[in-house]
Chain A
Amino acid sequence: MSDAPAAQSPWQIVTITRIQKRTPRVTSFFLQPSRPFAYRAGQHVDVRLTAPDGYQARRSYSIASAPETGETIELAIEKLEDGEVSPFFHEIAAVGDEFELRGPLGGHFVWSDGDGGPLLLAGGGSGVVPLMSMVRHRAMRGSLVAAALVVSARVWDEVIFRDELIDLAERRDGFDLVLTLTREPARRPADYARRVDAAMMVQAMTRLPAPPKLAFVCGSNAFVTAAAEALIDAGVPAALIRTERYGV
């Protein structure tokens, strides 16, 4: 018998290396892990904050960066007014700060280019974050898998990663982007200004060369319910649809 490795806490210390405001309510935090951190596009992490008296708060956040990005992990965190952890990130956290992180977590809402496609992705609000990891992974791998991403946001300035997504779509390499705004007129031709529905999903699928092999839907419970129903009404079998809900 060889010596067993010493038991290691699943938590590790990460350091904030960069902070970038993405939208009025969403900010990206770039984190340097202290231990090797290998993940798949779509996975999430648990974050744990500890008060001086030992009280701890824990929340889950999706990873926005692609596994190929390098050592740094990007979390895009939306500020919830009645939140406990997100206000800490938005109001207090600074470059150089350390906190505890666990992960990567989740083995269902994940995609690698080897899984193939076509892919139909739908994200509402900050539900675009794990889908961004998939889109970036696809681009960085030079993957030829066709993918269409439908992003729903209230207004143009709340579309997280908007300019990067538009740039990626303009490559015309098999990735296409559909934006829909629920409280403003559409800005681009062929975009929408309404909540997601079956007609929109049918249109999104016409941008793919074949029916989707997998669909990923992420957002609030209301968004995921609506988008998943829309996909089913558009003819996507329920068994191909993977969902991730914030819970509320």
Chain B
Amino acid sequence: MATRGFSSGRKPPTDTGARLPPGQYLEQGFPVLSAGPTPHVRTEDWSFTLKHGPRPIKKWNWAEFNALPLTKMTRDIHCVTAWTKFDTAWQGVLVDDILADAGIEPPTAFTLALGFDGYSTNVPTKDLTGGKAMVALLYEGKPITLDHGGPARLLVPHLYFWKSAKWLNGLQFTERDEPGFWELRGYHIYGDPWREQRYTNDP
């Protein structure tokens, strides 16, 4: 149904439109969203733990983690609040390289990303491996600011951006697909922007 008096004055050009998932608009800025206060995570207190269920597999401090191979990823990102930002440039450690450093193959098909603030979000393990995701340490060549999730955040750019957990402090392999913070509060269990999987009951 057309809305009386609403015109498509902001309709993006075709080449832009093809990069915009359904229901998204192009944002030039970088909006900040979070469910609670911004935690002041200092690199000297920072650590990252890989876990299988409750059992730690390997833990890195900031210096150890920064010694892992760094990879560049430039991707479009899509927030469930409907903004999309093109060509965001990140550098960080691929999840593949974290697993290689720990000397393991993924033990389960599901993963929870965990944050210093108590946040969690679930991602199928196959969406984190194969070069698809990283623990980002730099944005546009500079340390990630606190309000954007620094010192380190997950980057899973092919899913809605709430999956790219801020203030990351670990990845936990789980036997089942366990809903995380927003997934327990009405948001989609998988969150594919191209299928517009925003809320729990979206197909």
Contact = CB atoms under 8 A, between A and B. Distances in A.
Interface string A211-246: 000000000010001001101100000110111011
A41 to B, nearest CB: 15
B5 A242 contact: no
Interface residues of A, number: 43
17 contacts: A48-B23, A50-B3, A50-B6, A52-B7, A55-B8, A84-B10, A84-B25, A92-B4, A92-B6, A97-B3, A100-B3, A105-B199, A225-B38, A228-B38, A232-B37, A238-B39, A245-B33
B67 interface: no
B201 A10 contact: yes
Interface in B1-54: 1-11, 23, 25, 29, 31-39
Contact of B1 (A53, A93, A100): A100
B186 interface: yes
B37 A241 contact: yes
A70 interface: no
Given A92-B5, A248-B32, 17 more contacts: A13-B1, A49-B3, A51-B11, A55-B11, A84-B9, A98-B3, A108-B182, A228-B37, A238-B36, A238-B39, A239-B118, A241-B36, A243-B35, A246-B31, A247-B33, A247-B81, A248-B29
A185 interface: no
A245 B32 contact: yes
Interface string A79-114: 000001000100011000111100001111100000
